[in-house]
Amino acid sequence: MSQRKQSDESLGRFLSLVLRHQPQAAYITLDRHGWADVEELLRGCVRAGKAIDRETLERIVRENSKQRYSFSPDGKKIRANQGHSVPVELDLREADPPPRLYHGTATRFLESIRREGITRQSRQQVHLSAAVETAVTVGARHGSPVVLPIDAAAMAGDGYTFWLSENGVWLCREVPWRYVLEEELIYPTAPGEK
């Protein structure tokens, strides 16, 4: 990996931390809609030992594989598109979900999820995806992955609200276990595994 790419990835991780979880790590605050002032952020990053210039920030936002961040139309502010643990009002777009959505998790959480449903844990919403592969990757971050197919059509029919983030992540408040299609759980096998 090129040095620039490595450094961008490390700065990207720091940005996620600051814009979603700990703005104080860069000595800044977010407004109630999650926006940070770009100039303040750049200064705060330098102070935190993560020197970053405007050009690099723009490159990270543009090239981020999941389009995690957005600039305001005038370019003066920046925020994360989803994934916050700090309370923010993102004015998310409500949307009709596709009939099936997927949640990737680790097998070790299944027992608790069966009991309590999928809950948002430290984040503001439960994260779901329209693609199985995305859910596999998300689940594998926590251990041996399992993908839970969700009957989103039934949830929407029962009045549950869904939102679609700027970067295509489906969000909802919770998923009670009865909407998980238990007979269709997917246990992906890692490449090379039998």
Q: Does 50 bind ligand HQG (CB under 6 A)?
A: no
Complete DSSP assignment for 19-65 = III-GGGGT----TTS-EEHHHHHHHHHHTT----HHHHHHHHHH-T
Give the count of beta carbons closer than 10 Å to the beta carbon of residue 110: 14
Nearest distance in Å: CB 104, ligand HQG = 7
Binding pattern for the stretch 89-118 against ligand HQG, x by CB under 6 A and - elsewhere: ----------------xx--x--xx--x-x
Q: Which of 149, 147, 123 is nearest to 137 (CA)?
A: 147
Check if the beta carbon of residue 44 is closer than 8 Å to that of residue 27: yes
CA dihedral 117, 122, 126, 132 (to 10 degrees): -90
Q: Is 79 in the site for ligand HQG (CB under 6 A)?
A: no
Q: Give the pair of three-digit tokens for residue 74.
A: 């005038």
Angle between helices 54-63 and 3-16 (to 10 degrees): 90
Using rule CB under 6 A, residue 84 touches ligand HQG? no
- Nearest distance, CB of residue 4 and ligand HQG, angstroms: 21
Q: How far is the CB of 170 from ligand HQG (least distance, A)?
A: 9
Told to check if 83 binds ligand HQG by CB under 6 A, we report: yes
Nearer CB in complex with ligand HQG: 21/43: 21
Residue 105 beta carbon to ligand HQG: minimum distance, rounded to whole angstroms: 3
From the number of C-beta atoms within 10 Å of its C-beta (0-12, 13-18, 19+), residue 73 rates as exposed
Pick from 121, 159, 189, 192 the residue near ligand HQG by CB under 6 A: 121
Smallest distance from ligand HQG to CB 73, Å: 23
Query: Which residues of this chain interact with ligand HQG, rule CB under 6 A?
Result: 66, 68, 83, 105-106, 109, 112-113, 116, 118-119, 121-123, 127, 138, 142, 169
